[in-house]
Amino acid sequence: MLRATLLSALAVSALVPACTTSQTEDEFADETTADGEDGKGDSAAAFTYYNLLPDSRACFYNDGECGVGYFVSRANRSTTQCGRGPAQSQCKVFTIDWSGTAMPESVAKSYEDGLREGRPLLVRGTLAPAPDDRGSVLSVTEIWVASSPEWVDGVFTLVHDNGIRCIKAPCPSLTERKLNSNLSAQISGIDLEDSGVERDAIDRAHEQVYGDGLIIVGYRYSDRTGGKGRTANKFFTKAPVPLR
């Protein structure tokens, strides 16, 4: 019983940053060739994550494309392959295919309504040209819900508990993987306080680290023990699918 209690305490301590922290150089901050591309070493399943935003432009002349549909861009990457042409900063999507989540149409509609109301979504899926070559179609397989509606700066990483346990700090018991990249690192803590959400939400987010993982948007820090971690200006938790 004592051993189990000790291991539990050590696991929780990985989620609580040391008292003294400072921002340090972030090896994930810049986009480089080391990030790689989908299909080339994605053993950690860190690729095909997209940010979704509504096309809310107010246009003087509406050509049928302005102010409707959505904009899609790869998290952490400066370009996205929209179709058969050159890569762009973001892609225009008129149709979102939610069937890969097996959720009812009413739930899918609620997500689309939320997007139009300003609630951001991070999704995983595939982006392909529409059959008529008019824009692209986004087929969603995973939905990640944001802790707050604001768009923030930072690196998107997926954080999981890796099972490492130590008797002294720093203890690299968490693995973070940069989204849409082959890069990963072992870290000793995460700090969700900058997200600005209530304590109950932070506690529930910590629990996700031991399950589906937690997606964090933030920066690298170092603590007084020499360990490194990541702050969270925002975090995303995975929505269960199918949703009822």
pLDDT in tens, 6-16: 334 334 445 55
- Domain check: are 176 and 199 in the same one? yes
Q: Which of 122, 144, 166 delimits the end of a domain?
A: 144
Is residue 3 scored above 60 in pLDDT? no
Torsional sign, CA 69, 234, 164, 180: positive
pLDDT recorded at residue 106: 87
Domain that holds residue 14: 2-36+152-238
Is residue 180 scored above 90 in pLDDT? yes
d(CA 26, CA 179): 14
Tokens in use for 111? 């997500």
Q: Which of 90, 125, 144 delimits the end of a domain?
A: 144
- Domain check: are 138 and 157 in the same one? no
Residue of higher predicted confidence among 166 and 21: 166
Residue 44: inside a domain: no
Tokens in use for 92? 């225009």
Is residue 137 scored above 50 in pLDDT? yes
pLDDT in tens, 45-93: 689 999 998 877 766 665 556 767 888 999 999 999 887 778 889 988 8
Poorest-confidence range of 118-122, 176-180, 203-207, 226-230? 118-122
> Which of helix, strand or coil describes residue 102?
coil
Residue 190: inside a domain: yes
pLDDT recorded at residue 12: 46
- Domain check: are 139 and 187 in the same one? no
pLDDT recorded at residue 220: 94
Tokens in use for 232? 């969270």
What is the band of 234 on the pLDDT scale with cuts at 50, 70, 90? very high
Residue 43: inside a domain: no
99 to 108, 138, 161: CA distances (angstroms)? 9, 11, 30
Beta carbons within 8 Å of 89's beta carbon, 6+ residues apart = 73, 78, 79, 80
Contact 221, 231 (CB under 8 A): yes
The total number of structural domains in the chain stands at 2
- Domain check: are 54 and 139 in the same one? yes
Q: How many residues does the chain have?
A: 244
pLDDT in tens, 207-223: 999 999 999 999 999 98
- Domain check: are 17 and 80 in the same one? no
Q: Is 21 exposed, middle or buried (0-12, 13-18, 19+ CB in 10 A)?
A: middle
Tokens in use for 188? 């000793």
Q: What is the mean pLDDT of residues 34-40?
A: 79
pLDDT recorded at residue 162: 94
- Find residue 161's DSSP bridge partners: 174
Is residue 149 scored above 60 in pLDDT? yes
**Strand-strand pairing, 189-191 and 228-231:** parallel
Q: Which residue has the tokens 């200006």?
A: 233
Q: What is the mean pLDDT of residues 122-134?
A: 82
Q: Which of 110, 144, 178 delimits the end of a domain?
A: 144
